[in-house]
Amino acid sequence: DAGVIQSPRHEVTEMGQEVTLRCKPISGHNSLFWYRQTMMRGLELLIYFNNNVPIDDSGMPEDRFSAKMPNASFSTLKIQPSEPRDSAVYFCASSLDSSGNTIYFGEGSWLTVV
């Protein structure tokens, strides 16, 4: 079975540019999570969706960040405009309601903003 699929795996962009990260959750999973990992702050939840509806976006750092889930098999995390401090690894993860919060992670999108 395919796991959580993220793209791009690596991106280098200039400050001020728009960045869009994409995620395909595991088929049948109905919760989707976006996490950010940095050396300083560790693993932080940015936002999560349940049945395509955003449930908790309190972790989104500021208005430059936005996330959408137009359907059960696709989500995007957008940063506009990007800043150097946004450089991090962004993980998408998914879970099934009946699985007791077991979350399955993608390989991550490694973002560098210069």
Partner 1 sequence: AQSVTQPDIHITVSEGASLELRCNYSYGATPYLFWYVQSPGQGLQLLLKYFSGDTLVQGIKGFEAEFKRSQSSFNLRKPSVHWSDAAEYFCAVGARGSQGNLIFGKGTKLSVKP
Q: Which stretch binds partner 1 (CB under 8 A): 17-25, 67-75, 76-84, 89-97?
A: 89-97
Does residue 82 interact with partner 1 by CB under 8 A? no
Which of these segments, 16-24, 60-68, 69-77, 99-107, binds partner 1 (CB under 8 A)?
A: 99-107
Instruction: State which amino acid sits at residue 54.
Output: P
Q: Which stretch binds partner 1 (CB under 8 A): 16-24, 40-48, 68-76, 80-88?
A: 40-48
Task: For residue 100, state whether it binds partner 1 (rule: CB under 8 A).
Answer: yes
Give the torsion through C-alpha atoms of 64, 18, 87, 69, to 10 deg.
Answer: 70
Cα-based angle 47, 92, 61 (whole degrees, multiple of 5)? 35
Tell me the C-alpha distance between 59 and 34, whole Å: 10
| Residue closer to partner 1, measured from CB, 30 or 66 | 30
Q: What does the CA dihedral 64, 25, 93, 53 come to, rounded to 10 degrees?
A: 60
Q: Which residues bind partner 1 (CB under 8 A)?
A: 4, 31, 33, 42-43, 45, 48, 50, 55-56, 91, 93, 95, 97, 100-108
